[in-house]
Structure 1
């Protein structure tokens, strides 16, 4: 932790030095034009301590990442048929609804085989084959129904988990703001924050109950559909035991009946055709096409090694795309992948060392996009993950704060009649921190007070000139 703070301080000093250098150049240029003594101006500017007006800052912290929009639900359409495709109803990029016909196979060969076998067996054997076909179809339908119900139940759990994580994050953020307000003695906001914390606590409890109900529903779905599948399997097994002496012929006939049922292929879910592996007149080789749900989206983002331990499931995220400059989409971290593959790790180390290699990150996370997004599959997006919602409060740069045996303090410059400033020591309570600022509170400080940037260079009671930058917004830069 101390190393991180020291690094941030060094970065901040570099920024200050650069800004002071720019100001000095401007001053020197102006003095040269006016014929003033340059050497004297430099000596005067260098002797000044810098101070910044105390202001409110956003104490939230976040990290930025990039990624590509993907579907949460990808459905692969497959077949074991080897018939030619008679009709192809879709093209790459088409949107389909669940139940839409995707393609139709040529069933002429299968019908001829069925007719030949039906001539070889009795009517009772044909009936047995038909019963086998129906039983097999019911078994497959039961398995498909189970997969569909389990997917829906799991999706409900994911939504409930996201809602719980968000409610919990909102509660923790409000609780942090309340604790900060109490520490600062901000009576004007304490009552409102207490009410908000109470309301959010109830929301957390409600979300937790909804999550438990979703998990219970999955258990019930699994139990019920298992029973249905077992019943269908029992029927198939019973039919196999009661087949006639021409069992092999009956079995083959039942297989052909099942193939006849599969000649028309329909979509198992709504979405966009993102892969198409067949053509009209062609013979399939297992995989027909892929359908990606374009309403339930996610983004897989690369996370820097130094940030991966900060990212947690449920953290809120803002998602933007260059293709949609006026829109900001919201979402939440659904999964943190805190395992680095050896290839990605090597690439990261090469990039850090400045040697050749890709610049990807070894770690990643998945962010689920909230419903109603206009993002499209495959879009490259920027994702800002909020690590902590700190809210606004009085804050100063990290190294404006000093400490001794009595606690933390800052030095304030109090303007005197001669234009110089009297240095005063003001005890402070330290609050939340970002990459640049640290929140402080003190009954003795007011917004606009001039806070010395480098407390090690002054002492209480000094009377000195101060340099105050005209544009203090330059101190809010990202120092990463």
Structure 2
């Protein structure tokens, strides 16, 4: 028998195994479990259940094991205070309903007759007040509808303006790099031409001053001022020629034309963006102003409707009519939440009063458990939980979501739920929120493993595989190729009730170690587990 099958057998038949093992241990443990389950006699039996355990990395959980009942996390009741007979029932136990679905309808004939009598007795006053109130609310509804239509139209205008602005911004972004590149090239050229330009500007200034001095001296030819003027004029002409030569050398005209060609579309794009920005801002302002005006009109209509309602309610006849109208609406009983109808207290013809139906959500489930006192210090709200049930094919994930601050007893008067524990065992009631309720059913039993801590990607061995070596340290017996076992030292890490983490140079994937629980050890463990389970 493989280790998994054996341990499954032990856990599923704890009481039988515990009693059997205890009895066998009392007479000396002369038969091994392997022999008891597989041998027919005539062969000497060992006193140990020996098996090889193949090492494989996995998880090691420190856990608290509990059991409980699956319940709905959301329960609502459909109730009424109206003492009328049930005219129709629209659901049955087990049906799935949505919030607002009709559960049943009460006979409203008596209410309608009473309402008609009150309306007749109230006369024209109440009728006028009702008509005034109804008109005010119709106007209010129309104004709100118009406001919604206008908002949609204004939003569209704003969006259109925003799209135009975005397009203009795109064009600016497209032309800006071209303009910047042309400007940079022009500036580089201008920097190269700048010395000749400066020299020309200075020569022109000197020529202008010499001309002024010559004119001031009388303007005669052959004079010193005239000769100085002629020299400055010649120098200006030379600088002008040098400037032209520099512009030719550095291709001034081409760069100037390129700059002008790039600047024109950029300036146009920038101007278009400015216009689009102004149009967008205007659209926003118009939207704010228009909707503000409509909101002011709605506020006035709300005040008028409130005044009309107050006038109607202030009249005694009006109050009676309002109450009767409300009762008439309440004769149709509806579901307050989504879920399954788990209880139905009425049928057609019965007088309906109090609880009518119970609706429990099947999408939001919890497992109600009781945590023993000796384990309560280990757990906290928020810990992950692995849930198993006979009805679920796979384990279901959950989270410990509530722990009672006080201990109670199963079946006591504490008001706390129990997990089906027997007798008066004390413990702390708790709820486990189910992540995915698939496979779990309200009212079914479930077991839960509250994961206190978890180590991943570690080698583990059963506790009965750990031995004390010749040097007093921890070791395991490792299977060798010749079929014999070799004592190898290990470092023992985390442990739980069944397994221990081990590591060491010889601990590798696929290696096999010997585990050989004695009859006495298995009897003690099975009896201890049975005692713990019964306490739950």
TM-score tier after normalising by the smaller chain length: 0.5 to 0.7
Question: 1:304 is matched with which residue: 372, 389, 396?
Answer: 372
C-alpha change, 1:423 and 1:241, in structure 2 (3 Å) is closer
Matching residue of 1:164: none
Tell me the TM-score normalised to structure 2 length. Answer: 0.48
2: CA distance between counterparts of 1:345 and 1:107?
A: 44
1:242 aligned counterpart, secondary structure: helix
1:72 Cα deviation from its structure 2 partner:
1.4
**Who is 1:110 aligned against?**
111
Shift of 1:370: 2.7
Alpha-carbon RMSD: 5.3
* 2:68–2:445 contact (8 Å) kept in structure 1: yes
Q: Is 2:473 the partner of 1:409?
A: yes
Moved more, 96-105 or 383-392: 383-392
Matches of 2:486 and 2:104, distance apart in 1: 85
Equivalences for 1:22-421 in 2 at 5 Å? 22=30, 55=55, 59-126=60-127, 128=129, 241-243=310-312, 247-322=315-390, 324=391, 327-344=393-410, 358=423, 362-371=427-436, 373-391=438-456, 392-395=458-461, 397=463, 400=466, 409-411=473-475
Q: Equivalent residue of 1:79, what SS?
A: strand
Q: Is the 8 A contact 1:130 1:254 kept in 2?
A: no
What is the Cα deviation at residue 291 of structure 1? 0.9
Q: Deviation at 1:362?
A: 2.2
Aligned mates of 1:134, 1:321 — CA distance in 2? 61
Tell me, in whole angstroms, the C-alpha distance in 2 between the residues paired with 1:346 and 1:317: 27
Q: 1:470 to 1:58 in 2, by over 3 A?
A: farther
Question: Are residues 92 and 109 of structure 1, via their aligned partners in 2, closer, same or farther at CA, if it must alter by over 3 Å?
Answer: same
Measured in 1, the distance between the counterparts of 2:33 and 2:97 equals 65
Match 1:437 to one of 499, 502, 511: 499
Q: Is the 8 A contact 2:381 2:403 kept in 1?
A: no
TM-score, normalised to structure 1, is 0.53
Q: Residues 414-452 of structure 1, C-alpha deviation per residue, up to 9 Å, x if partnerless?
A: 999xx999988x4x544222124332333366686879x
Where structure 2 has 5 or more consecutive residues not aligned to the other structure, the ranges are 1-17, 137-301, 414-420, 530-536
Structure 1 residues 26 and 78, CA gap change in structure 2 (3 angstroms): closer
Change (3 A) 1:282 1:133: farther
Distance 1:114 1:127 in 2: 17
Residue ranges of structure 1 left out of the alignment (5+ in a row): 1-10, 136-232, 348-355, 454-467
Structure 1: how far apart are the matches of 2:69 and 2:131?
Answer: 49
Residues 201-257 of structure 1: CA deviation (Å, up to 9, x unaligned)? xxxxxxxxxxxxxxxxxxxxxxxxxxxxxxxx999985675348x722211111111
Q: CA 1:127–1:372 in 2, change beyond 3 Å: closer, same or farther?
A: farther
Quick one: distance in 2 between partners of 1:442 and 1:317? 31
When residues 283 and 129 of structure 1 are mapped into structure 2, their CA distance, relative to the original with a 3 A threshold, is farther
**C-alpha contact (below 8 Å) 1:84/1:106 kept by paired residues:** yes
Distance 2:377 2:133 in 1: 56
Does the 8 A contact of 2:364 with 2:437 survive in 1?
no
Runs of 4+ deviating beyond 4 Å = 17-20, 22-27, 50-58, 129-135, 233-241, 398-403, 411-416, 419-424, 444-451, 468-471
Give the match's secondary structure for 2:83.
Answer: coil
Deviation at 1:79, TM superposition (A): 1.9
Provide the secondary structure at the position in 2 that maps to 1:92.
coil
- Cα distance in 2 for partners of 1:363, 1:314 equals 16
| Matches for 1:442-453 after TM superposition, within 5 Å | 442-443=504-505
Provide the C-alpha distance between the structure 2 equivalents of 1:330 and 1:134, rounded to a whole number of angstroms.
57
Deviation at 1:373, TM superposition (A): 0.4
Paired positions, count: 326
Partner of 2:8: none
Per the TM alignment, residue 376 of structure 1 is displaced from its structure 2 partner at its CA by: 2.1
